[in-house]
Each structure stands twice: as structure tokens, then as C-alpha cells.
Chains A and B, each alone.
Chain A
Amino acid sequence: AQSVSQHNHHVILSEAASLELGCNYSYGGTVNLFWYVQYPGQHLQLLLKYFSGDPLVKGIKGFEAEFIKSKFSFNLRKPSVQWSDTAEYFCAVNTGFQKLVFGTGTRLLVSP
């Protein structure tokens, strides 16, 4: 069965620090990849997505992610985090079947 791994469960950073959240998936075929974010008290919303083309994808609020097919990875990055980035981040993979498979999430706390 397809699976998605997010190795960092909790990350604590100071403002202006750089962020990289790992995401690896187990599926050898064509994939569509997503990062979702859930701010405290809010619903899940899409940060960015990759379907095809340039493997470096830019999303909202200065986030980007890089798809590395050979490593089955889709890591999320931001060069300088802000306190308002405190949230839970979910990686998700669509393998072409009907459903998305989500990782277990990474809770990011940014201290001011």
C-alpha cells in the first residue's frame, strides 16, 4: 500500500530561521503531490501542489517544495519563517487512484 512519511513530528524554530520539512512516499509510478497547512483553529488549506513540469514548485506565503523523483521526496522549504507560520503541515500523495494518502503531519512552532 502507498504510504507517506513525515519524519519530523515537531519542529521548533526562531523567527527568520530557515525551514525544511521532509516528506517521502512509497510509490513507483506517476504521482501528484501536495502540501497542506492547518493554522490553529482553522481548516486545512492547500499550500502548494505538484502535478508535472518544473520540480521546484512555489506556493503561497513564500513556501516552496522540490520534487526529487529518484529520492521519492517532496520536501517543503521556506527561507525565513515568521511567527504566523506556526501551524501543522501535511504532505499528501495522489497516486492516480481516487484517494489521497496523507502523512502524519509536522507541528511547527515559530517563536518570536
Chain B
Amino acid sequence: DVKVTQSSRYLVKRTGEKVFLECVQDMDHENMFWYRQDPGLGLRLIYFSYDVKMKEKGDIPEGYSVSREKKERFSLILESASTNQTSMYLCASRADPYNEQFFGPGTRLTVL
């Protein structure tokens, strides 16, 4: 079974802090994704990576950056957290564009 793990289930940070969200997948998948999930808005893509050291902006990249130094790990960085970044963050991976994505359990981030 594919396993996608995220470093924290719940996280509370203060405005202005730098926040790191980590995601690891164990199936040697090429593609990895970061989404945020908000009620009534569904899943919105922040960034994705189709290979190591490669990244592409998604639909809402402002205020975020990413890092993919190793194939199995994809990190989301909030350089200076703001209250409007309070959300559920989901990581996903897939083997290639023609297969389904596998999701992690999510990190519920609260920025105070």
C-alpha cells in the first residue's frame, strides 16, 4: 500500500513565524503535490513537483514556497505565516499524470 505521511496532524503557530510542513511518500512516486482544503472551496493546489528539485506553481502559490531535495520528500514552507493561512494542508503523490493521487492525512494549521 502506498503511504503518504505528514509530519504533524495539528500545528499552532503565531503570525510571522516561519512554518515547515513535511511530507514523505514511500512508493517512489515521481509527482508530489501540496493542497489546502477549506470549507466550500474544495482542494486548491498550492505547488506541485514532477521530479526532484523541480517545482511548479499551482493555483494559489502566494505566501508559500516548496522544497524537494529528495524524491520521497516534499516540504511546504510558509515564510511568514498569516492568519489567512489557517487551513487544512494536504500532501499527495502519484506515479505519473495518468494515475490517481494518494493523499496523506493532512495537517490542520492554525495561525494565531
| Binding site secondary structure of chain B | strand
- In the complex, whether B89 has a CB less than 8 A from a CB of chain A is no
CB of B43 within 8 A of CB of A90, answer: yes
Out of B42, B50, B90, name the residue touching A105 (CB < 8 Å).
B42
- In the complex, whether B101 has a CB less than 8 A from a CB of chain A is yes
| Residues of chain A at the chain B interface (Cβ within 8 Å) | 6, 9, 32, 34, 36, 42-46, 49, 51, 90, 94, 96-100, 102-105
CB of A34 within 8 A of CB of B100, answer: yes
| Binding site secondary structure of chain A | loop
Task: Give the top 9 A-B pairs by smallest Cβ distance, nearest first.
Answer: A104-B42, A44-B103, A102-B43, A43-B105, A102-B42, A46-B100, A105-B42, A43-B103, A99-B45
| Residues of chain B at the chain A interface (Cβ within 8 Å) | 31, 33, 35, 40-45, 48, 50, 56, 58, 90, 92, 97-98, 100-106
- In the complex formed, the residue of A with least CB distance to B43 is A102
CB of B101 within 8 A of CB of A45, answer: no
CB of A43 within 8 A of CB of B48, answer: no
Known contacts A43-B103, A43-B104, A45-B103, A98 near B42 by CB under 8 Å? no
- In the complex formed, the residue of B with least CB distance to A96 is B97
Docked complex Cα distance between A44 and B106 (Å): 9
CB of B48 within 8 A of CB of A99, answer: yes
